[in-house]
Copies of this chain bind each other. A is one copy, B any other.
């Protein structure tokens, strides 16, 4: 799985082949197929591994004391996720969107939206006309900003966090 991750981030989507993964991992192609039923399964395992930490951190938002705190956690979890392995995170984002839907892999975006919705229903959160739509927009804003910053070459997580919060709270605080 780590071999797959490295190929994706260092060589890009088009060099991601089962042979390349086996080579990188230092095992034979036959061994690769003893642990994964096929190419997609490798992608799937990588996706699950990479999103695992994001999900775990994002779910900490559920245990926050306030809605604003929950939102902060969602943002910082997303930023941390993106900054751990920027190129990889972006490529996997695309895979997630274009893979055959499955509860296992397709769900990160939906889960994030759901967490956002729960945060927005806290009493201290800015009241929204349609919480579902607001949650979706919120995640979309975060994603857009974090992805864009991630592709730049002078990433600054601290500053990014401040700006994303500004955007999200600006959106939420403004009447629809």
Contact = CB atoms under 8 A, between A and B. Distances in A.
A115 to B, nearest CB: 16
A111 B139 CA distance: 25
A26 interface: no
Contact of A145 (B141, B151, B169, B176): B141
Contacts of A144: 140-145, 147
Interface residues of A, number: 32
A77 to B, nearest CB: 17
Given A97-B90, A142-B144, A176-B162, A137 B170 contact: no
A5 to B, nearest CB: 16
A145 B98 CA distance: 18
A158 interface: no
Interface in A1-24: 12-13
Contacts of A139: 148
Interface of A: 12-13, 90-91, 94, 97-98, 133, 136-137, 139-145, 147-149, 151, 162-163, 166-167, 169-174, 176
Given A97-B151, A141-B167, 6 more contacts: A137-B148, A140-B149, A143-B148, A167-B171, A169-B174, A170-B172
